[in-house]
Amino acid sequence: MSRLQLSILAAAAAMVASTAFAANDDLTATLPDELKALYVDAAQELLPSAYDDFAPKAKPWKWCHSESYQGNPWRVSMTNELRRLVDGLIEKGDASSFEVSDSNGDVSQQINQIRSFIESGCSIITSVPGSSTGLDDVIKAAYDAGIPFVTISAYVTSPYAINVDSNYNRWGFEMMEAIAKSLDGKGSVLLVEGIAGAPIVEMERQGAEKVLAENPDLKVSRSVNGNWTANVTKTVVLQALATNPAPIDAVWTTGSEARVVAEAFAEAGRPAPVITGSITGDSLGYWKENPDKFRFEGHAVLPGWNAQALFRVGHRILEGQKPKLNVIMIPIPPVSGAELDQWYQDCMTPDAVSVFPVPPSDPMPEALMDAYFTNPAATGFDYSQVPGACAAE
Same domain, 103 and 9: yes
- The reply to whether 43 falls in a domain is yes
CB 262 within 8 A of CB 294: yes
Same domain, 153 and 216: no
Same domain, 73 and 172: no
Q: Give residue-wise pLDDT tens across range 123-165.
A: 999 999 988 899 999 999 999 999 999 999 889 999 999 999 9
d(CA 48, CA 9): 9
- The reply to whether 273 falls in a domain is yes
Q: What is the DSSP letter of 196?
A: T
pLDDT, average across residues 72-81: 92
pLDDT at 8: 34
CB 329 within 8 A of CB 166: yes
- Three-state DSSP state, 31: coil
- The reply to whether 339 falls in a domain is no
Percent of the chain with pLDDT over 70: 93
Same domain, 239 and 176: yes
Same domain, 310 and 253: no
CB 203 within 8 A of CB 43: yes
**221-259 b/e with 16+ CB inside 10 Å = b?**
bbebbbbbbbebbbebbbebbeeeeeebbbbbbbbbbbb
Same domain, 159 and 232: no
- The reply to whether 202 falls in a domain is yes
Same domain, 9 and 31: yes
d(CA 393, CA 390): 5
> Domain total for the chain?
2
DSSP string of 59-106? SSEEEEEEES---SHHHHHHHHHHHHHHHHHHHHTSEEEEEEEE-TT-
Q: Using the Cα atoms of residue 304, residue 310, residue 313 and residue 314 in order, give the sign of their dihedral.
A: negative
Q: Round to the nearest angstrom and report the end-to-end CA distance of the chain.
A: 49
Q: Give residue-wise pLDDT tens across range 360-384.
A: 999 999 999 999 999 999 999 999 9
pLDDT reading at 13 higher than 60? no
pTM of the complete model: 0.88
CB 204 within 8 A of CB 254: yes
Residues comprising the chain, all counted? 393
Cα–Cα distances (Å) from 207 to 21, 40, 212, 263, in that order, read 17, 11, 9, 27
At residue 318, what are phi and psi to the nearest 5 degrees? Answer: -65, -30
- The reply to whether 385 falls in a domain is no
pLDDT at 165: 95
pLDDT reading at 5 higher than 70? no
CB 135 within 8 A of CB 156: yes
pLDDT at 25: 66
Same domain, 41 and 160: yes
Final residue of a structural domain among 279, 299, 319: 299
Same domain, 162 and 173: no
Same domain, 154 and 259: no
pLDDT at 24: 58
Q: Give residue-wise pLDDT tens across range 207-216.
A: 999 999 999 9
- The reply to whether 384 falls in a domain is no
Domain span including residue 55: 3-166+303-331
State the CATH number of the domain containing residue 262.
3.40.50.2300
Final residue of a structural domain among 253, 280, 299: 299
Same domain, 158 and 16: yes
Same domain, 15 and 160: yes
Q: Give residue-wise pLDDT tens across range 285-342.
A: 999 999 999 999 999 999 999 999 999 999 999 999 999 999 999 999 999 999 999 9
Q: What is the DSSP letter of 57?
A: P
- The reply to whether 24 falls in a domain is yes
- The reply to whether 393 falls in a domain is no
